Amino acid sequence: MLTIFPLRVVMAQLDFLVGDIPGNTKKIITAALDARDRLRADAIMFPELTVTGYPPEDLLLRPGFVGQVKPAMRRLCAEIQGITAVVGYPAATPEGLRNSAAVIADGRIQAVYHKHLLPNYSVFDEKRYFVAGTEPLVFELKGVRVGVTICEDVWQAGPARRAVAAGAQLLFNLNASPFHAGKSRLRLEILQQRAAENGRPILYVNLVGGQDELVFDGDSQVVNGRGELTQRAPFCAEGLYPVDFSLGATVEPLPGEIAPDLAEEAAIYRAIVLGVRDYVDKNGFPGVVLGLSGGIDSALTLAIAVDALGAERVEAVLMPSRYTAGMSNSDAEEEARALGVNYRLMPIEPAFESFLGILHPVLAGLPPDSTEENIQARCRGVLLMAISNKTGKIVLTTGNKSETAVGYSTLYGDMAGGFAPIKDVLKTMVYRLAVYRNSLSPVIPQRVLDRPPSAELRPDQTDQDSLPPYDLLDAILQGYVEEDRSVEDLIAAGFDRATVERVARLVIVNEYKRRQAAPGVRITPRAFGRDRRYPITSGFRR
């Protein structure tokens, strides 16, 4: 009969501020002592680059920044007692800076692991900063031999295999793995594969929180040596999550709480809410202001802002023009009242008339076109930015990915602002998210979901006067932008040649607009900006 010796390890799924080394150090110490005293843990493991926050980007090129890390590590060694802590940090070595994990116990760093695989794709560019490690690390924890890996190391077979060859009975994996739709399933599949290959349990702890465009969703997981999920932490929530083990012939994680899978809409919505909250709070803004038009995009953005910050920190501005339908104003007011938001009415007609008068020598005798439409959008941008300047609130823009892709937006108009919550959300997903939010409580009028979308910048205008129907447009964008399929591939798949060529051209020629757009929450693997980086000046047209 096996003798059972319990082991408890805490996964610290926490939110850290990039660049705040003193604040992050204090948070690490507080969490470690709480795990020791309240949770009676033997060890605590933190995410990747915990000390600096992730990703620190070119802060790592500043000697003064990297110079703060050593004193922070000395403080961790001095103040974390009675528990083993595995902490991610950048280690300065003779060979160069490394993405590392320190095993801290008994007042000193007992061992250091250097990340083997440095991702240099999508949003990652770690080879710009770090030198790769090559040696496995296995340390002893209450008689158990624990192998350490960092993030990308678990996505390929080599690092885990080397740790097991060095004697590891249990694998720790420290992560800063950003969210995109479907990421939780991918993580679990990789962990199951890696655990089953090696016959070893894996503890996967992930960062949580928003950092500029990125959202880290937590979703920390535990799988046993057969690849079975035994525990999963909640999505987009901070916390300390203890994992218990039985120790005998093998190391076996005991069954723990498995946070439920979320529907795609629920996961995306929560990720955007977290991204908005952290962007506003970490940058010190007292609140947000946004234009509320009575359309679906601004309605969804308002709901996200209120869920992220509370109604008292959100201000809505209704800015009707001569072309705004009465129902748009009434729907916008209903949305604001349903969410408990303070709002003000600021018609743009006087400003629009003034601009037309000033521009009369230029516009006289010429037919109205997008020039007059854009002037209206820019009047609104001026008003919102003035409120932002006076109050300190950041302007949230309300454009979606479909519009951003094809340039259906106005520079310095509806694009004016500091953060774009739904920038990476295709229009068809906007509707799905609105329906999901209404399932929690009805805050977006049904008429807003049913009406044809319109910028209301000319008489009887609808978006589909200028664009293909959104279900068709989004299907083409899914192939062309998200999947990098060619025009000919899409035509072969059954799409109309003229429509595909037009959409592709619009995507290409509007790169200059996207380069000037506000940052926004990333929810897909091909977000404009960090993921999809195309030249503005280019001879490529297909």
Query: Could you give the residue numbers annotated as active site?
Result: 48, 115, 151
Q: Cβ atoms within 10 A of the Cβ of 19, count?
A: 16
Q: Which helix (H) or strand (E) holds 406?
A: helix 401-406
| Six token digits for residue 102 | 């320190």
| Six token digits for residue 360 | 């009369």
Name the one residue in this structure whose structure tokens are 């920390």: 220
Nearest partner of 46 among 35, 37, 58, judged by Cα: 35
The C-alpha atoms of residue 316 and residue 513 are separated, in whole angstroms, by 25
β-partners of residue 394 are: 288
Q: What share of the chain is helix, strand, coil (3-state, %, to 5)?
A: 40, 20, 40
Q: Which residues of 115-177 form beta strands (DSSP E)?
A: 138-141, 144-150, 170-175
β-pairing, 43-45 vs 7-13, is parallel
Indicate the angle between helix axes 69-79 and 21-37, nearest 10 degrees: 20
The C-alpha atoms of residue 507 and residue 50 are separated, in whole angstroms, by 38
DSSP code of 492? H
Dihedral angle, C-alpha 523, 528, 533, 534, nearest 10 °:
150
Q: Is 511 exposed, middle or buried (0-12, 13-18, 19+ CB in 10 A)?
A: middle
DSSP code of 235? B
